Amino acid sequence: MLACTGAPSLAPGQRPATVAGLRWCRMKAQDCSVWTRNLGMLARAALPLVWLALSVPCLAREGAAMPMDPPEVASRNAAYLSALDAATAARKASKDAGNALKKAEQSSRSASVRATEATLRAARKAHESARHAREKTLLSALRATGESRAKANIAMEASEKASIASGRALEISSAAARRAAEPSRPEARSAARGARDALKIAFQAHRAAAQAAHEAAEASWRATRQPAARTDIRPGPAASTSSAVEAAWASWRSRRLDVDQYARRGMSLALHHIDTRSRA
């Protein structure tokens, strides 16, 4: 150990002549440990700087490879994503309206308190979905550009009509629930049939609104496929939104259900349930 610290070499069995020799050896060993610790700290502090110096050229090349979307293309992509949200909300509102109609078909046969309250809850849920779909459709119409604006306006009008019909059906369903608690059974059955008819009208309006919203989304998708008018945009570090639009369209096409097919299935299930109860 004394040889590696720089002290004079001693023969085997030989001791230092003085206490100062031992003290000198101890000080040299401490100096070596301090220098080793300092070098380790400097190396750890320099590693982030080395990584940053190596990654800056890679980030610059990656930013140059991803050009920024022109403003026209960015607005079309935003309009399509908004139209896609509106179509999804309209489809959910149509589904909730179909469920409410099925409950109303069941309650129109018996007009019991339990059945009419279930119809009222379903009608309230359908009205909330209709209000949400109306807000999404209005936002989509405000963001629509070019040729898709006409389809978006049609979808907005259809959603407005569906929301009004849903609100009217909710009022009639609430009145039917109050009549069901009264002792007069003929009036309760008449009120339940009125709620069923109102919910049927609302369901048809939601079907039309969902179809119009889907057509508006397809028109907005076709608008995103058109070439941009400006081509003099300098490349920048921002990433393009085209990949997000492609992914959203693929997800929509894979999850989309035909509105008419869903309506036929819902009505057939409701009629089958009614026939089963009448036979029993």
Instruction: For the chain, 280 residues long, give each residue's pLDDT as a single digit of tens.
Output: 444 444 455 555 555 555 566 666 667 666 676 667 767 777 667 666 666 666 666 555 554 444 545 677 778 888 888 889 999 999 999 999 999 999 999 888 887 888 889 999 999 999 999 999 999 999 998 888 877 888 999 999 999 999 999 999 999 999 988 888 887 778 888 888 999 999 999 999 999 999 999 999 898 888 887 765 544 444 444 344 455 555 555 555 555 444 445 445 544 544 444 455 445 4
Whether residue 14 lies inside any domain: the answer is: no
In a domain, 232, yes or no: no
In a domain, 208, yes or no: yes
Range of the domain at 193: 79-225+249-279
Whether residue 90 lies inside any domain: the answer is yes
- The structural domain count of the chain equals 1
Would you put residue 228 in left (φ > 0), alpha (ψ -120 to 50) or beta?
beta
Structural domain contains residue 269: yes
Position 268 in a domain: yes
- Asked if residue 123 is part of any domain, the answer here is yes
Whether residue 8 is contained in a domain is answered as no
